[in-house]
Chain A
Amino acid sequence: SQQGEEDPQALSIQEGENATMNCSYKTSINNLQWYRQNSGRGLVHLILIRSNEREKHSGRLRVTLDTSKKSSSLLITASRAADTASYFCADRNSGNTPLVFGKGTRLSVIA
């Protein structure tokens, strides 16, 4: 019951560059969330964007939502080596069910 699918699967950039990763959905979006996972660790919540929002910012993170294309993008500006991690999008299939996660994008930021 995979809800979202991230793209690309892996991304490698130089420190200081921007990183963009995308999440596409098959069904309607409820409240889409982005999480980060450092290698061998648990996930950490980054940002949530509601279905009636189009853009949201949190520090160096910018999330956009396009409900007509059933997609969301996460932009990390001025990337740092510490941003190296896997990034997942997640949403619920319906209002009162657990989150369903995509397979993630592995981001490598090279110093």
Chain B
Amino acid sequence: DGGITQSPKYLFRKEGQNVTLSCEQNLNHDAMYWYRQDPGQGLRLIYYSQIVNDFQKGDIAEGYSVSREKKESFPLTVTSAQKNPTAFYLCASSMSTANNEQFFGPGTRLTVL
């Protein structure tokens, strides 16, 4: 059953703590993406990776970090430097950044208490 998974579905964190969101895909896609979604804001790109061991900042990378050590995995760390981290986080993948269709995971809702 091919697809893209995110865990956990809901995540609560205290202010000042770092937290890591998981994203895994078994579609053999080279490119992976992290988006943040706030109400009425649409999707904003945080980071993306075109290939293993490579990643680029998106529009709102400050306060976030990523790694791409394996093709299947693209974890996102929300650091304490992110001032307003409460949001819905979506991971996506595609065959390449030039390939047109992106496949999305189910999302992780992060709430900072």
A contacts, CB < 8 Å to B: 1-2, 9, 31, 33, 40-45, 48, 88, 90, 95-104
Indicate if the CB atoms of A95 and B98 lie closer than 8 Å.
yes
Q: A31-B100, A96-B98, A104-B42 are in contact. Are A40 and B90 (CB under 8 A)?
A: no
Q: Chain B residues near A88: list those with CB within 8 A.
A: 42-43
Contacting B106 at CB < 8 Å: which of A31, A33, A41?
A41
Report if A42-B40 is in contact (Cβ < 8 Å); known contacts: A48-B101, A98-B58: no
A103 near B98 with CB under 8 A, answer no
Contact-residue bracket for chain B: 20 to 34
Smallest beta-carbon distance B96→chain A, Å: 8
Residue B64 at the A interface, CB < 8 A? no
Q: Within the complex, what minimum Cβ distance (angstroms) separates B1 from chain A?
A: 15
- Mask of B48-84 contacts with A, CB within 8 angstroms, 1/0: 1000000000110000000000000000000000000
